[in-house]
Structures are given as structure tokens and as C-alpha cells.
A and B are shown apart, each in its own frame.
Chain A
Amino acid sequence: MKRLFRNKLWVRSLVQIFFFVLVALISLNHTLAEAGKGIPFLSSASLHSLCPFGGVVSIYQYATVGTFVQKIHESSFVLMILGFLLALLFGPVFCGWVCPLGTFQEWIARLGRKLFKPRRYNHFIPYKVDRWLRFLRYGVLAWVLYMTAVTGKLIFAEVDPYHALFNLWSSEVAVGGLIVLGIVSVASLFVERPFCKYACPYGAVLGIFNLFRVFSIRRNPGTCKLDMACNRVCPMNIPVASMTVVRDHQCISCLKCTSENVCPVAGTVDFATAGRKS
């Protein structure tokens, strides 16, 4: 516990742990409730009904037919709207603070950092290649939206590592999801948040909000020492030191690059609105 609070961003770690445990307990309770042994006072909702991306893939069917995609309910729509509201204000803060799969990848990344030198970890893929690979998730998004619209079924659930992670104990787990989860777990030893960077369709949607979010990562070039500390610590490999406002579609608003955490000069890298006082 002391170690947790030594971390300058301990609030973020606490929020991540909270959501990870909450989702795990609800998913476990869902299985128990189906067997008639549910834990009282704890939601036993299915994981699908608590996934904001379920709302995104249902938009087309809801608009054209007036129904939700199989297994999706009103709660997914509510979470989708709340996710959009958060993203409009703060960017993909859902990815950086709430998503349990992102948290899971970060935990594996700690092991990766111990296995490799700090400058090597998270830099295995050459920048020129990596830069284009980052757009793969938009391809995944297009595929998922198209297939869901055509079939009316939750196609992504068959390969969703998030669903697999929290259904390891249930018969609902899909083989495809387990395989992807295995790949993501191993890849996380080399690359930080590989699923978020290259494959997450929901991250792709939220990433677009970075282009116009209200609060952004902002660097003050006047006080910046250009020590590149912000670049090194960024899990998404964003060159913060070369920007004044981070509009990169991959930023997850984790605040690791800010003066609160790593930048040695106070007020140089902040999470702020356009009119901030430096």
C-alpha cells in the first residue's frame, strides 16, 4: 500500500484498481447468479451490458430498426454517452483511467520493464512502421461496425480480449477472445498497451476526441528544458516535447508526462484548457 501512495499519480492507480476489481466482481457475480448463487447487493449484469462499445456498435441498428444488437441493452448506450462526454472534456480518459483491459496491460508492462532496459522497452518497433500500425485500429473499428450492422450480432465478442479476461471462469468465453488475450498478454511484455495502440476499436473512436477535447496536455515551450522526460514516460510513445498541445489520436490522458509526475519544471506540462495561466 505504501508503494501505491509513493506513486505521484496514486489517484489514477487507485481508480484503475477500483474499476478492475468492480468489473471482475460483477462479471463473477453474473456467473454465480446464473447458477442461482449470486452475491446480494452487487450487480450481476452481463459484461456486454456494461461495455460502452456495445452502444457504439448498436448505433446503426438502433437508428435503422429501433432495436439493440443482441446482448446489448440501454445501459451500454448510457455508458457510451458518458464515455463520449468524458472524451469531449478530457480525451480518452476512459482508456487511461477506467478500462480494465488497459490496466491489465499496464500491470504486465511492469514485468516487461524489468525484463528489458528502460530505453529498450516499448521501443522495439521502428517508428516508421509503428506510426502507420497505429491506424490499424480504425480498420478494426470499420470491420466491427460493418459486420455488426450486417449480422445484427455482437461479432466483436468472439475476439474480444476484454470479455475473455473477465469470463475465464465461465462457459461464455470465446476461443478467439482467449487467443487474442494471450497474444496481448505476451505482447505487453515488449510494448506498452499493445491492444490499445493497434487494435482497440473503442480506443479508435475515443481517440478522435483528442482533436477537439476541452482539456489537453499542454507544454510551455518557454520553460521547457527539452530533457525529453515526457517523451520517455509516455506509454503511447507520443513525442510530447515537440508539441505545444497534444492532439495525437493515441493520447489516453494518463497524465504521466505532466509536471505533476515526471516533468521537473512546475507548470511546464499540464492538463489544462486553452486559457490556462502558466
Chain B
Amino acid sequence: MRLTSKSLGPIVVVILFGGILFTTLMGWWQTESVKEPVKYTTGELAGEYNPADIRGSYTFGDINRLFNIPLEDLRVAFGLPSDADVAAFQAKSLEEMYSGLEQEIGTGSLRLFVALYNHLPYDLVEDALPAPAVDLLIARGGLTEEQLAYLETHTVSLDAAAVQEAAATPAAIATPEATAAATEEHVPEAGLVAGKTTFQDLLDWGVSQEKIEEIIGGPLPVARGMLVKDYCTQNGLSFSTIKTALQAAVDAAQP
């Protein structure tokens, strides 16, 4: 059997688009993550979405849909302008928008805000919130003493200029210069277990693989660059508990 370009071209196109059509009909063709966080599996919250699994690609519209938080509250909390397309704003844009602040405002901040807004359990570890978000949460009430104490040290004050500048670039990036409260770039401290710590970091800091596996109660993930925090979320572990144990292991491994 012989093929020419006049037959090979259509065959290639048909196989590719036919395959895409078929997998679309079967529900296998997905070009983005399913915007559904994991759910709590135990306790009275079983079946509810866990804000700890909110990803950077989630938009405020997704948050509104999944956690029933009004878009206007999200807009005010995170300093978006009144004419911004709030529903299309992605969580990962926060990090760029508020880059250069002493404490990072990013996807973790959104997770914390959602958890506190809906009174859901969340590990209070290092995530910070912008001042308008904290004001909104306090005004709504229902925060515990522990949460209020945590927010006292994890609130990032944005002066008017910074918020205005961020507001001028809807769903986009505010430059470091625009964030007037900016200080030096936050660099994770070596040997300090935090939300950005990966399994490779732990190994680099001298903690043995066996010790890590003992603490997390399972084999070390193949992807050593995986965040410990993400691993805990995916496996239903308390990051703060794991973090404490890992920190002790890191301290013990230090010369």
C-alpha cells in the first residue's frame, strides 16, 4: 500500500482531530485542572471542600462558586479595583501583584481567608493576609482568640498608594515599586521548615530519608521538589504537626 501527501495529510488531520473529538465525548479531554479542591473526609465537615487545596489557577469566580464567598468581599479583601473582572482574577496573580512585601500575599493567603471566612479548620502556620481582609474578617466576627492572635502578627499593611497602584492594574501585576509597603524580598531561611519547604530541602539539610518517611508515615514522594505542605494537604495530614516534627529532625541534624 502506497500513500502520497494528498492522502497522508488528511489522515494525519483526521487522526488528531478525530482522537480529540472521541476523547472529548468520552470526557477524557481536559486542558485544565478540574477546579474542585479535595474534601474533608472525616468529622462533621466531611464532604465539604478543604480550602487548603485551593490552587494558584483558581479564579475568584471559582472561590465564589465553591465556597459561597461574595465576589465583592474577595475584591475588597485583596484590594482589587472596583472595575476589575474579579471573577476572572487568579489566585496566583496575588503573588505578583503584591511582590516585594515583607510577608508574602499569595495563594496561601487566599486559602487562609477562605478558611477564616467560612470558619473552616486551617493550619495557622505562616500565611499572611492584607489588612483589608483582616478588617473584613473581624467585622464578620466568629474568629477564635487563637486566630485573632495569629492575625495580629500576620497582617500586611498596605498603604493607600500601594492599594491604589494595584487597583490600577486589574487582574494583573503591580510592580514592586508600586507596593509602597514593600521591604526586602522574602527569602526562606535555610533550616527553617515552612510552607515553601520541599522534601529535597529536608534532604539537603541533612535529614535522612528514613526519618522523613517515619514522620510523614509513608514513602518519600518520587518528586523530591514537592512541597511538604502540598503533600500533607493531599494526604490529609496536619501540616503544623508534620512541620513541628520535621523541624525537630532538621534541628537534630544540624552540626
Contacts and interface: CB of A to CB of B under 8 A. Distances in A.
A15 interface: yes
Contact of B9 (A14, A61, A73): A14
A168 interface: no
Nearest to A153: B225
Contacts of A244: none
B31 A50 contact: yes
B31 A152 contact: no
B31 A49 contact: yes
Contacts of B10: 11
Nearest to B22: A78
A81 B122 CA distance: 40
Nearest to B28: A74
Interface string A78-104: 110110011000100110011000000
Nearest to A261: B5
Interface string A117-148: 00000000000000000000000000000000
B88 interface: yes
A20 to B, nearest CB: 14
Interface string B111-126: 0000000000000000
Interface residues of A, number: 52
Nearest to A260: B4
A12 B11 CA distance: 11
A18 B13 CA distance: 10
B252 interface: no
20 contacts: A10-B5, A12-B9, A36-B85, A49-B32, A65-B222, A73-B30, A73-B32, A73-B33, A78-B28, A79-B20, A82-B15, A86-B16, A90-B12, A97-B8, A98-B16, A149-B223, A152-B221, A255-B5, A271-B4, A273-B2
Q: Ordered nearest first, which 6 A-B pairs have the shortest CB separation?
A: A152-B223, A151-B225, A45-B31, A36-B85, A11-B9, A49-B31
Interface of A: 8-12, 14-15, 18, 34-36, 43, 45-46, 49-50, 60-61, 64-65, 73-75, 78-79, 81-82, 85-86, 90, 93-94, 97-98, 149-153, 171, 215, 253, 255, 258, 260-261, 270-273, 275-276
